[in-house]
Amino acid sequence: MLALITGATKGIGRAIVESLSKEGYDIIAISSSKENLETLKNEIELKYRNQCYVMEGDLTSSASRIELIKNLTPHLENIHVLVNNFGKYSVGNLEDESSNSIQELFNANFLSAFEISQALIPFFKKKKKGYIFNILSVLAKEVRTTAAAYTISKHALKALNDLLREELRPYSIKVCAIYPGSVNTPSWDGISANRESMVQPNDIADFIKNSVAGSKHSFVEEITFRPLDPSL
């Protein structure tokens, strides 16, 4: 069993790596930080005795994504689970956003997931088996005027998720959209916030772990995680 996770060294991605490793999955971890990847690899392989392949790359860069997918080629037919977790957040309203900022967020939050998913589609279809989880945001179904580029990119990712779900359903491949609200991740470092009352990364990781071990005949199409505290 092999799982591919993007944005794998911190926050939600790191929790998913831990959770699936505990269940016996080998891991392909993608991140832009070589140092964090090496630390993750050493910790996972020592703790769980599973293989943890690490691939460094900037998923906001087209050239880097092409190189990453090339490096993934030997593994594609063996991947059972894909978690498109990598993403970026930015602040700005439509009046102030530039085409470059829109493109940067589109690269990070949409094209990275699109290109990796597209590379896996023929192998999943051939096996008639597989699971894709797309980590979106509650802003994929709502709007935040002060985060225009982020909102647009996440709406695009939702469309991709829904298309993947329906295209792959006849092949018994499950595609699930995960819509988190405020999650206790390193993105909150240096910001005064009640992080203990937020959604915790393990909440999402446990859902994914339970989903991949679930029934062959049903699946959760989408799920929203929100803090109980309405102020978050």
Q: What is the pLDDT of residues 30-46, one digit of tens each?
A: 999 999 999 999 999 99
Strand arrangement, sheet containing 52-56: 52-56, 26-31, 2-6, 81-84, 130-135, 173-180, 222-225
Query: Dihedrals φ, ψ of 52, to 5°?
Result: -130, 100
Q: What is the pLDDT of residues 190-221, one digit of tens each?
A: 777 788 999 999 999 999 999 999 988 999 99
**pLDDT above 80 for 132:** yes
**pLDDT above 80 for 145:** yes
The pLDDT value recorded for residue 118 is 97
The pLDDT value recorded for residue 190 is 75
pTM over 0.85: yes
Q: How confident is residue 231, by pLDDT bands cut at 50, 70 and 90?
A: confident
Average pLDDT, the chain: 95
Q: How confident is residue 232, by pLDDT bands cut at 50, 70 and 90?
A: confident
Amino acid found at 23:
E
- How is the chain split among helix, strand and coil, in percent rounded to 5? 50, 20, 30
Q: How far is CA 229 from CA 18, 77, 185, 196, in A?
A: 27, 43, 17, 11
What integer is the mean pLDDT of 100-125? 96
**pLDDT above 80 for 134:** yes
Q: How confident is residue 122, by pLDDT bands cut at 50, 70 and 90?
A: very high
The pLDDT value recorded for residue 128 is 95
